[in-house]
Amino acid sequence: MIAIGALLSICAASILGQSTFENNTNIDKQVNLSTIVNANRTLDVSIPALNKTVSLGDELLAKLENTVKNAEIGVKNDKNLQKSDPNSGYNTYEEDLAKLDPAKLNPVDESPDYASSVVLASDLLSLTSAIANVKEKTCREHGYKFLDGLLLNKRWALKMFDASAKSPQGLLFGSSYHLGNFDECVGIGEPGEGVTVEGRYCLATIKWSQSKESKKVRTGRGETLRWAVCVPSACDASAVAGFVGDVLAHTVGNTTAVEVTDRDCYTRRPITVTNLDIGYLAFLLFIVAIMLLTTFYEIYSMKWGNNKNTLTHDLIVSFSMINNVKKIISTKQNNGLGLECVTGIKALAMIFIIAGHACLFIGSGPVMDAEAWDRLIRQPANAFMLNNTLLVDTFLFLSAFLFCRLLLIELDKRRGKLNVIPILVFRYIRVTPAYAVVILFYMTWLPKIGEGPLWENKIMMEQERCTATWWANILYVNNYLKTDQLCMFQSWYLAVDTQMFFIAPIFIYSLWHWRRLGLIFAGIGTFVSLAIPAFITYKDRLDPTLLFYAKEFTDFVTNTYFREAYIKTHMKMTPYFMGLLTGYILHRIQTENYQFSNLLKTFGWITSVILGVVTTFSVSLFYQDWYQYSVIEAAAYISLHKFAWSIANGWLIIACATGNGGVLGKLLTWKFLVPLSRLTFCAYLVNGIVELYYVGQLRHPLHITFFTVMANAIAHISLTFFLAFILCILFESPLHGIEKLLLRMVARPVLSDNARKEESCQTSRSTSQSKLET
């Protein structure tokens, strides 16, 4: 338990001396046991047990015995003081210690050798004094019972001590997470007469004073230490914080601060189920039942049914598992616009986004070497993993591009007479149900599927946030309202995409109806989208982009840049406007059957490759130790790198769509990527569950290398797409099928990702595309 207090003093002393050690390459001062004895410190009351574990000389052993005798004399004097002065504060529990039969201290059935190897030289008298200062009566009584268990070598008490973190290892190496043994602690249960002691795992945060200069340093893990303490379940967070703080105050002074919240402590309890939990589970079972029934119906209809072309049949089959699995794993693309490459871009972008999320959660979680992450992010070769921001911008670009390209076709067919309202409504209906299902999972069963040292701190916090602000997510305004309680760290993207989706028809219609005026209008919008981020970055002296320093991302919501700038729509408009312009340009090219000259194709590819490489790897510049912040550079970079990346993406899509994609075109039309592209939306929704679960259940710090990070990232990618497959079968794919059926009735012809062009439009596709397909 908190017997670890004596060892905390070693830890804190090492921490406070960290800056001194960093400035001295040779550490020639060593602390030995004789120094402790000469300082007249009280050691274990059982000198023979100590001698079993540590080989002591006769002279040093005599000093230890004299020290213990002096401590006993002090205890007797204190007891006499207690008799003469009842208000002296000495607890009568020390008298009970003196009455214990020495023969009972090491009973044979509890393995005294094991006990001595666990407890070592713990100072039981100091521990007794510390427990006596605990204010809560029940916690104090359980603490005394724990002491009795230690003295009698009871296995449950030894486990409680053993589960706590011991003397720090690798502190100067940057190890700031000392997690003890979580499962050993929470598995403790000792029934007794009137008092039942259960293990409660608490992860205290120890902070120490730091200079103004050290506060400005963004690398490392900050001046904090996470320390595991196993205590009786009767002790609440404040009692644990008070005890650890009291121990540190008596050893290293009042220069440290200890924080322990209710979310930092965990006790194993039976699962409690609310009405919302039951309702959510019943809803899932209902959906599963429908899926099974419709699957059996489809099997029947395939063998004996004759009504396969009716609307009712199509509606029922849209929920069938067979039908939806076929749609997901199919490599066919019913697309006559030459946009097959978009599926490849979506799939690859999502793979790297998930890998980036995994790297960030791994790097900001418990690690053995805090500087390892800083070394990785400084290497330019790893810049592609740090550019998640550009990959998310790619999805905004693709969303705008597809919407513009398909809506322009519909406007051509209907001669400008198109009711956009059904399109917006059906888009909301298509996206929201699967999104709402995941949010409800956060609010109900997510905290109940696991446990771990950081489980309460990570998962319970997400549940509280989603319970408080789910309505902002459903209304797609969570990137502006209640951002300090953002539910699902990745959900801001859906808010930005939806807000721009509702604005986009104005620009698309102007491009179709008034070509020159529409281009001017879209150009002004693009210029404004470039100017706003640059102005805000210059005014507030913000970072040039989102920089992934580990200590700033232990919680996304606490990162000021992420909350106040990164997730805002007005900071993300550039790729969306560039997507609209790219969709319009491709529409004109394919409609007029424009052929690229060799010079133009060469210039386009050279420009695209240069811009893509520069924007991808230039971010590593801002992680270097020698880089000096410049507000002008930051303001220019925040806008221009998005603009350059959008140009690179625009040319890539146009080249592939017109049959000039070359090797990249073949890669992006690889059939293996087609099923993955259909799962990208669901993968984006469920990825947060995978990342939070990983950090919450982690028992031991991870040694960070490029290999370990990539191995974990691949595992996260696989798990994410597996969960996305399940979510897609149950919700997204059936709703997509229903949406198609309704759009056929309401807004014929269908406006979707798989829209076909009429025969008159087929000839507009460049003939070089057929060569590529051949």
What's the pLDDT tens digit per position in 205-262? 888 777 666 667 778 776 788 888 888 888 888 888 887 777 666 656 566 788 898 8
pLDDT band at 493 (very low <50, low <70, confident <90, very high): very high
Asked whether residue 716 carries a pLDDT value surpassing 90, the answer given is: yes
Lowest-pLDDT range, 110-119, 163-172, 219-228, 262-271? Answer: 110-119
562 is written with which tokens? 């992420």
Mean pLDDT of 725-729: 94
Q: Would you state the pLDDT for residue 109?
A: 42
- Strand, coil or helix: 258: strand
Mean pLDDT of 85-90: 44
Highest mean pLDDT among 17-26, 171-180, 454-463, 570-579: 570-579
- How many angstroms separate the CA atoms of 119 and 155, rounded? 12
Q: What is the distance, to the nearest Å, from the Cα of residue 344 to the centroid of all Cα atoms in its chain?
A: 26
Instruction: Say how many C-beta atoms besides its own lie within 10 A of residue 38's C-beta.
Output: 11
- How many angstroms separate the CA atoms of 599 and 597, rounded? 5
Dump pLDDT digits (tens) for 635-650: 999 999 999 999 999 9
- How many angstroms separate the CA atoms of 675 and 554, rounded? 33
Give pTM, 2 decimals: 0.79
Mean pLDDT of 153-159: 79
- How many angstroms separate the CA atoms of 57 and 630, rounded? 63
DSSP 200: E
- How many angstroms separate the CA atoms of 4 and 229, rounded? 8
- How many angstroms separate the CA atoms of 665 and 771, rounded? 12
Task: Pick the more confident residue, 17 or 395.
Answer: 395
Asked whether residue 684 carries a pLDDT value surpassing 90, the answer given is: yes
Task: For residue 734, say if its preceding peptide bond is cis, omega within 30 degrees of 0.
Answer: no
Burial class (CB in 10 A: 0-12, 13-18, 19+), 306: exposed
> How does DSSP assign 517-567, residue by residue?
HHHHHHHHHHHHHHHHHHHHHHHHT--SS----GGG-SSGGG-HHIIIIIT
pLDDT band at 679 (very low <50, low <70, confident <90, very high): very high
Instruction: Say how many C-beta atoms besides its own lie within 10 A of residue 603's C-beta.
Output: 13
131 is written with which tokens? 């427990």
| Type and span of the H or E element at 725 | helix 706-727
- How many angstroms separate the CA atoms of 771 and 774, rounded? 5
Which residue is listed with tokens 């199919």?
A: 330
